[in-house]
Amino acid sequence: MARRTKAILGGLMLLAVLIAGPASAQAATVFGSGSSAMQPYFEVLAAAYKKVDPSTKLVYTANNGNAGAKDVQDGKSAFAFQTRPPLPSDSGLSYSKLFLDGLCVAVNPGNVLNNLKISQVRDVFLGNVTEWQALGSNLRSPISAFGRNSTAGLYTFFQSAVLGGLTQATNVTQLDKDGEVAVALSRNPAGIGYVGLANSGPGSGVKRLKLEGQPCQASAIKTLKYPLSRYGWIVLPASKPNKAATRFGDWIRTSYAAGKIIAKAGAVPAFNAKHPPKKKAKKK
Amino acid sequence: MALASRTHRASRGLLPDQRAELMLGALVCAVLLFVLLLVVFVFKEAWPSFDHNGFGWFGPGGNPDQQVQEIYTSANLLRRPVYTFHAWPIIWGTLLTTLGAVTLSFVSALFVSVFVVEFAPEAIKRILEPVVRLLASVPSVIFGLLGVLILVPFIGNHVITDGNRRSVAYIVSLSGYSLLAGVLILSLMIAPLMIAVFSDGLRAVPRGWLEGSLGLGINRWRTFWKIGVRTARPALVAGTVLATARALGETVMLAMVTGGVSFAPNPADGLIFFVEPTRPLAATILQTAEELTSEPMRHTIFAMAAVLLFSAAMLSLAGWAAKQPMKRYGVRA
């Protein structure tokens, strides 16, 4: 009996040490939320950040950018990733640019179409054009347009950058996550949709279109020539931001290592250090 | 019993079993109180939305997706809150998916359970029953994934023709994300639940009643249909109510495969009707819950929740009422 009590006490103490240990080393778990288009970047960056700061554990919930910003406002998340610039509703938040990303317009690989004008994309997503023929494709079928629902940060960006603030038409199938749009396009020969850069790369089963003659690739995004170039943002509370989250953001924005990872993951580093001098930060 | 306990209490406090009785009673009261609080809270939160729209809330008018965006941005931009919301397409979508799936799975579940209970050889029975029970407990998101990767592309590429697409191209996109996909997968999900309850009911039919009928020279099929199934009617009602409740509340799978557009499929479109996209109530709550922090949106979301809650309550009530006249003859379920 006594031995058992001792064992239980010992176990409890061990548990207490386990719980209190990391906390006292000022490194609790840091919770973040936000854009689902930013999630692929977060995953590779967080994995690498473990080596930089092993005491910080980062957890990210992809609940869409606008919701993530509200989570930070409410103190539910320490940071958020967002795909659109700040709006008047973002009171009490500080937005910082992390790196450049592109919103790609993608189609099924079977489609011969290569290039579209922004005005053509607008016509498709406002429901004014419904036939592939009108866009110069070889397909003789109607267009199946895929988009995101109105709570997604990508949608907000698309709405302001392409639709001129108008609501996308009812004939656009609205999906919940960036990756779901890519899956739908890869399986629908007549599909067209807007997908983040990371989810439309090689192996995603979709084909990116040029917009206004500019490819949805790092080279054109870096120079801001690609019309749907945009910054990925980290959102922190304006007052008393979580230190670990701030450090994580600074590391992504400025470090050489993060720049390499960002480039590898398909986005474009914008502010990262270009040294160690021997190898330049990947420009591609 | 009551007398005895009173004397005990008077003489020397409570006996252990009385204490347990009181504890359990308190627990039951707590549960009841919790349900009451839940209902009060949901309806209190929902009231502003109903108040602003009146019965128009349930009616058609405009595009609910656009209304949702106006509602939550109105709070973001510190303007006057907007509440205008006409939920008919969403309610219609809920009715269609639920009724479609319940009808489809009721018919198949009835035949399957009759087969399992009365006609299947012992070996098949031994395999079939655990499999059905397992199927009943598969998480819905798995069905959702199967739907997105297999059923939806199949419907999009092989069921819908370009002619179909063209005929409604300016209004909705027929991409395979559809009412049909939702109904088919939903039936697959709720049928095992029905089969489990139906077979329990059929098994409880007194053997003697069936044997009496067989003894009169009536064949097995007719006997089972006229006596077994009839006697088990309360179980059929109970199983259907349970399954309908699950169909009504199903969220993730339907959000993944029905197309996410608050569009009311129109039976006047002919067969295309089945492959038109829609979005039921629970899936709408899921997709708009991200805007819960905006006050008018919160009230709107809770209004949808209140409609769901009310439907579920009415469903149980209807099930209870339907069972009443059958009670005298049937077995209990």
What domains are there in chain B, each with its CATH number? Answer: 88-329 (1.10.3720.10)
A-chain residues near B277 (CB < 8 A): 173
Say which of A145, A146, A170 has its CB closest to residue B171.
A170
CA distance B84 to B56: 9
Tracing tokens 């395999």 back to the chain, one arrives at B127
What is the SS3 assignment for A203?
coil
CA angle at A21 for the pair A17 and A22, rounded to the nearest 5°? 145
**Interface with chain A: mutation pick from B150, B175, B285, highest number of A CBs within 10 Å:** B175
Q: What is the pLDDT of residue A90?
A: 83
Is the pLDDT reported for residue A23 higher than 50?
no
Q: What residues contact residue B238 under an 8 Å CB cut-off, 6+ apart? A: B197, B201, B319, B323, B333
Q: What is the pLDDT of residue A276?
A: 63
Q: What is the pLDDT of residue A279?
A: 47
Mean pLDDT of A92-106: 89
CA distance B177 to B180: 8
Cβ A173–B261 below 8 Å, yes or no?
yes
Is the pLDDT reported for residue A281 higher than 60?
no
Instruction: Please list the residues that pair with A158 across neighbouring strands.
Output: none
How is residue B325 annotated by DSSP?
G
How many CB atoms lie under 10 A from the CB of residue A271?
15
Q: What is the pLDDT of residue A3?
A: 65
- HSE-CB for B303 with a 13 A CA cutoff: 26
Query: Which helix (H) or strand (E) is A127 found in, with range?
Result: none
| Interface residue A154 vs chain B (CB under 8 A) | no
Strand pairing category for A144-148 and A57-62 = unpaired
B-chain residues near A158 (CB < 8 A): none
CA distance B298 to A74: 15
Q: What is the pLDDT of residue B78?
A: 56
B-chain residues near A175 (CB < 8 A): 177, 260
Tracing tokens 């473990």 back to the chain, one arrives at A50
What is the SS3 assignment for A235?
strand
Dihedral over alpha carbons B84, A129, A64, A115 (to 10 degrees): -160
Q: What is the pLDDT of residue A75?
A: 86
* Model pLDDT for residues A74-97, shown as the tens digit of each residue: 888 899 998 888 888 788 888 989
**Shortest CA gap A242–chain B (Å):** 22
Q: Is the pTM of this model over 0.80?
A: no
**Interface with chain A: mutation pick from B262, B287, B290, highest number of A CBs within 10 Å:** B290
Cβ B173–A145 below 8 Å, yes or no?
yes
Is the pLDDT reported for residue A241 higher than 70?
yes
How is residue B82 annotated by DSSP?
P
Q: What is the pLDDT of residue B71?
A: 86
Cβ A88–B162 below 8 Å, yes or no?
no
A-chain residues near B169 (CB < 8 A): 130-131, 142-143, 171
Cβ B256–A176 below 8 Å, yes or no?
yes
Q: What residues contact residue B13 under an 8 Å CB cut-off, 6+ apart? A: none
Q: What is the pLDDT of residue B107?
A: 96
Is the pLDDT reported for residue A227 higher than 50?
yes
**Shortest CA gap A193–chain B (Å):** 12
What is the SS3 assignment for A152?
coil
Residue B280: asked if its preceding bond is cis (omega within 30°), the reply is: no
Q: What is the pLDDT of residue A34?
A: 87
Is the pLDDT reported for residue A204 higher than 50?
yes
**Stretch 185-214 of chain A: residues touching chain B, C-beta under 8 Å:** 187-191
Cβ B156–A70 below 8 Å, yes or no?
no
Say which of A89, A142, A191 has its CB closest to residue B77.
A89
Q: What is the pLDDT of residue B57?
A: 92
Phi, psi of A118, rounded to the nearest 5 degrees: -55, -40
Q: Which of B99, B332, B316, B100 is nearest to B197 (CA)?
A: B332
| Interface residue A175 vs chain B (CB under 8 A) | yes
Q: Which of A127, A121, A109 is nearest to A214 (CA)?
A: A121
Tracing tokens 């930070």 back to the chain, one arrives at A72
Would you say B289 and B321 are in contact if contact means Cβ atoms under 8 Å apart? Answer: no
Is the pLDDT reported for residue A22 higher than 80?
no
Q: Which of B50, B66, B52, B56 is nearest to B88 (CA)?
A: B56
As for the ipTM of the complex, it is: 0.72
Cβ B153–A188 below 8 Å, yes or no?
yes
DSSP H helix total and E strand total for chain A:
9, 12
Mean pLDDT of A254-261: 87
| Interface residue A4 vs chain B (CB under 8 A) | no
Q: Which two tokens stand for residue A164?
A: 């001129």
Q: Which of B2, B297, B282, B209 is nearest to A151 (CA)?
A: B297
Cβ A87–B76 below 8 Å, yes or no?
yes
**Shortest CA gap A131–chain B (Å):** 8
Cβ A144–B156 below 8 Å, yes or no?
yes
For each successive 10 residues of chain B (333 residues), what is the average pLDDT? 51 79 94 95 94 91 85 70 91 94 96 91 90 88 91 90 84 89 94 93 90 92 90 91 92 89 87 90 87 84 94 91 76 51
Say which of B77, B263, B287 has its CB closest to residue A149.
B287
Q: Which of B238, B230, B225 is nearest to B333 (CA)?
A: B238
**Stretch 36-65 of chain B: residues touching chain A, C-beta under 8 Å:** 63, 65
CA distance A154 to A226: 16
How is residue A166 annotated by DSSP?
P
Q: Which two tokens stand for residue A247?
A: 């450090």
Instruction: Please list the residues that pair with A175 across neighbouring strands.
Output: A148
Q: Which two tokens stand for residue B100?
A: 């479609």
Give the residue with greater pLDDT, A13 vs A117.
A117
Q: Work out whether the CA dihedral A175, A177, A181, A184 comes out positive or negative.
A: negative
DSSP of B85-138: ---HHHHHHHHHHHHHHHHHHHHHHHHHHHIIIIIS-HHHHHHHHHHHHHHHTS
| Interface residue B259 vs chain A (CB under 8 A) | yes
**CB-defined contacts A:B, below 8 A:** 107
Say which of A87, A89, A176 has its CB closest to residue B287.
A176
Please give the C-alpha separations between residue A181 and each of A26, A176, A200, A206, in angstroms, as whole numbers: 40, 8, 10, 10
Is the pLDDT reported for residue A5 higher than 70?
no
Dihedral over alpha carbons A152, A58, A271, A179 (to 10 degrees): -30
Cβ A174–B78 below 8 Å, yes or no?
no
Q: What is the pLDDT of residue A283?
A: 43
Would you say B299 and B225 are in contact if contact means Cβ atoms under 8 Å apart? Answer: no
**Shortest CA gap B253–chain A (Å):** 12
| Interface residue A176 vs chain B (CB under 8 A) | yes
Q: What is the pLDDT of residue A15?
A: 55
Q: What residues contact residue B217 under an 8 Å CB cut-off, 6+ apart? A: none
Say which of A64, A150, A173 has its CB closest to residue B173.
A173
| Interface residue A51 vs chain B (CB under 8 A) | no
B-chain residues near A124 (CB < 8 A): none
Give the residue with greater pLDDT, A4 vs A92.
A92
Q: Work out whether the CA dihedral A27, A78, B289, A127 comes out positive or negative.
A: negative
**Interface with chain B: mutation pick from A146, A170, A175, highest number of B CBs within 10 Å:** A170
Phi, psi of B255, rounded to the nearest 5 degrees: -65, -30
Give the residue with greater pLDDT, A28 vs A226.
A226
| H-helix segments, B149-178 | 152-154, 162-167
Say which of B63, B162, B277 has its CB closest to residue A173.
B277
CA distance B90 to B273: 15
Q: What residues contact residue B291 under an 8 Å CB cut-off, 6+ apart? A: A66, A67, A151, B68, B72, B297, B301
Q: Which of B13, B59, B175 is nearest to A174 (CA)?
A: B175
Q: Which of A19, A184, A141, A135 is nearest to B151 (CA)?
A: A184
Is the pLDDT reported for residue A168 higher than 90?
no
Residue of A nearest to B150 (CA): A187
